[in-house]
Amino acid sequence: MKYNIRGQRMEVTDALREYVEKKLSRLERYFEAPPQSDVTVTLSVTKGQQAIEVTIPLPGALLRAEEKREDMYASIDFVVDKLERQIRKHKTKINRNFREAGSARALFKEDFGSSGQSVTTLARDEEDDLELVRTKRFNLKPMDVEEAILQMNLVGHNFYVFANTSSQEVSVVYRRNDGKYGLIESAE
C-alpha cells in the first residue's frame, strides 16, 4: 500500500509517519495482494483531541475510519482496530453474497496466519453487529434544507430524512462532528 499522510493544524513527524505506516501495514495480511490504491491518512488536532482519519479505496468498496483520542498514538491504534473490523464485516458480506469463484472474494485472504483464525471465524463472532433491530416507515414531508435542519434539531437526532423541494429527491441532513451540518443527495 502507498500512504499519503498529511497533517492538519499539526506537523507530521518522522516518528509519527513511521508508526502510522507500521500499524496500517498490518492490514495487508487481510488481502491476497496489497491494494495498489493510495491510502489517505489525515492527522489533526482539534480542541485538544488528536484525530486520525484513514480512507482505503478498494475495488467495489471503500474502507474509512476515524478516531479521536487525547493521544495520537492511541488514536492510530484504535483506528486500525476499526479498519480490521470493517474488513472482517466486508468479507462476511462477500461470503454471503458471492459464492462463485472469481468474484470479489479473491480480494481477501481466507486465513491470515499468525492468529490461526480464519476471516469467517472472526466475522462470525461479529455477526451480531449486523442485526437489524427496528424498521421505521413514514411519509416524507416536502421541505427545504433549512427547515429539515430545524426539524432535525427539534427531534434531537443527528440526521433527518426529508423530501427536498429544490431537487425533488429524498435527501438527508446530518450534524457533523465539528457542529456544522451536511447534506446527502442522490447522485443520479
How would you label 80-102 residue by residue, b for 16+ Cβ within 10 Å and e otherwise?
A: beebbebbbbbbbebbeeeeeee
**Comparing 35-44, 88-97, 108-117, which segment has the lowest mean pLDDT?**
108-117
- The residue count for the chain: 188
Does residue 41 register a pLDDT over 90? yes
Q: Where in the chain is the domain with CATH 3.30.160.100?
A: 2-130
Q: Where in the chain is the domain with CATH 3.30.505.50?
A: 142-184
**Alpha helix segments (H runs only) across 54-133:** 72-97, 119-125
Which residues, in sequence order, are CB contacts of 22 under 8 Å at separation 6+? none
Third-level CATH fold of 142-184:
SHC Adaptor Protein (3.30.505)
Q: What is the CATH number of domain 2-130?
A: 3.30.160.100
Q: Classify 48 as helix, strand or coil.
A: coil
Residue-wise pLDDT tens digits, 110-123: 555 544 444 444 44
Say whether pTM exceeds 0.85: no
Q: 117 or 56: which carries more pLDDT confidence?
A: 56
Amino acid type, 65: A
